[in-house]
Amino acid sequence: MASLKQKRPQRVRPLVGSVLALAIGFGIQAAHADDALPKLPSKTPLKVGFAQTESNNPWRLAETKSFKEVAAKCGWQLVLTDANSSPAKQVSDIQSMIAQHVDLLVFPPREEKPLAPVVLQAKKAGIPVILVDRDVDQSVAKAGRDYITFIGSDFIDQGHRAADWLVKATGGKAKIIELEGSTGASAANDRKKGFDEIIAKNPGMTIIASQSGDFARDKGRQVMETLLQAHPDVTAVYAHNDEMALGAIAAIKAAGKQPGKDIQIVTIDGTKGGMDAIAAGELGASVQSSPFFGPLACDVAQRYAKGEKIPTWVKVSDRFYDKGNVKESMQYGY
Ligand code: AHR
């Protein structure tokens, strides 16, 4: 589900000076801010580079599958890479796609800052870019000026929705451990911002520890194990994705506590594993974060090639699962 909206929260103010400084720092020449966006040819096949961040969780696998499935329908010849969780590798994967002269670049930037200069490099090489899922630092590369658009969820709102559920589930009284996503990722920054904003307005709710579990199940389990020892009084967990929440559930059980009873857990993603944990009563709720960007990117690319004006943010709206609706919503899990 996507709606076309122009308005988006400005995380950072655009500063032309810092664009140049950062670009030079990364050893590239900045594209001129005033240059028009590169055009996209209307041809078949269209050579499209999709530079994935990693493939270590169901969310990433579903996202990649969505691009593979749409490629044939959209007339795309897909060039696919996997950065194995390394922002540096994702940059070099994209640089190699630029060198191959792909017609269009589509990627989820693993982190906001390291991936911004390569957007300018693509623009300078005349290759249009669509960012999906995560965004880049807007003070370096700006949607509508340096790349066509950002297609993705409102991560701040996801954090708000997770916090609202937790406030209700705990009666406004909780000691919370927050398991953050990958440091420097827009998904982690904004999910934290949104959640922490609501918690700050509830005096009975305290975040007693907040640490990155890198959006990974085993890292989430390890971090939770350590934090459980330091904070045995914890009564709630907010994990920035389902995989870390499932890792936290394993750690809580290993510590002899009952997830969903002794400790309430709320998370984001709506994976099949997360939904099963809600049905089992171990996970309280999961805000969906849709990974199905392939058809949306195809639609945006086709409209852009025809010369249509594309909004700077193609906003994806997300479902919400808790024990009240999880059983009839299983078809949406991935
Ligand atoms: O950017 C979206 C996040 O990245 C998903 O929540 C997570 O599972 C993935 O790795």
- Which residue puts its alpha carbon closest to atom 1 of ligand 1? 187
Domain containing 253 — which CATH number? 3.40.50.2300
Do 229 and 247 lie in a common domain?
Answer: yes
Count how many domains the chain has. Answer: 2
- Whole-number mean pLDDT of the chain? 92
User: What pLDDT score was predicted for residue 24?
Assistant: 35
Same domain, 99 and 171: no
Distance (Å, whole) CA 219 – CA 247: 7
Range of the domain at 242: 155-289
- Flag whether 2 is in a domain: no
What is the model's pLDDT at position 4?
44
- For residues 284 and 159, membership in a common domain is answered with yes
Within-domain flag for 185: yes
Q: Do 159 and 282 have their domain in common?
A: yes
The pLDDT, as a whole number, for residue 35 is: 82
- 283 shares a domain with 180: yes
Cα of 24 vs centre of ligand 1, distance in Å, is 30
List, in order, residues 6 or more apart from 80 with CB less than 8 Å away: 50, 52, 64, 67, 68
Ligand 1 atom with the smallest distance to the CA of 271 is: 8
Distance in Å, CA 86 to ligand 1 centroid:
15
Question: Is 3 within the bounds of a domain?
Answer: no
**Is residue 181 situated within a structural domain?**
yes
Is residue 326 a part of any domain in this protein? no
Q: How far is the CA of 270 from the centre of ligand 1 (A)?
A: 11
Do 87 and 161 lie in one domain? The reply is: no
Q: Whose CA is nearest to atom 10 of ligand 1?
A: 215
Judge if 186 and 254 occupy the same domain: yes
Residues with CB under 6 A from ligand 1: 57, 59-60, 133-134, 187, 215, 241, 243, 268-269, 289
Give the per-residue pLDDT at 247. Answer: 98
SS (H, E, C) 205-255: EEEEEEEECCCCHHHHHHHHHHHHHHCCCCCEEEECCHHHHHHHHHHHHHC
Q: For residue 29, is it within any domain?
A: no
| Pocket mutation for ligand 1, best pick of 59, 268, 290 (most atoms within 8 Å of C-beta) | 59
For residues 73 and 84, membership in a common domain is answered with yes
Q: 23 lies in a domain?
A: no
- Cα–Cα distance list, 2 to 152, 154, 163, 271 (Å): 9, 11, 23, 19
Q: Are residues 136 and 219 in the same domain?
A: no
**pLDDT < 50 regions, the chain:** 1, 3-29
> Is the residue at 137 inside a domain?
yes
pLDDT, one tens digit per residue, over 304-315 is 999 999 999 999
pLDDT digits (tens, 9 = 90+) for 193-247: 999 999 999 999 999 999 999 999 999 999 999 999 999 999 999 999 999 999 9
Distance CA 4, CA 316 (A): 9
Q: pTM for the full model?
A: 0.90
Give the nearest ligand 1 atom to 243 CA: 8
What span, in angstroms and rounded, lies between the C-alpha atoms of 216 and 24?
33
56/170 same-domain check: no
- Quick one: 56 and 205 in the same domain? no
- My answer on whether 284 and 297 are in the same domain is no
* Amino acid (1-letter code) at residue 167: V
**Cα of 16 from ligand 1 centre, angstroms:** 30
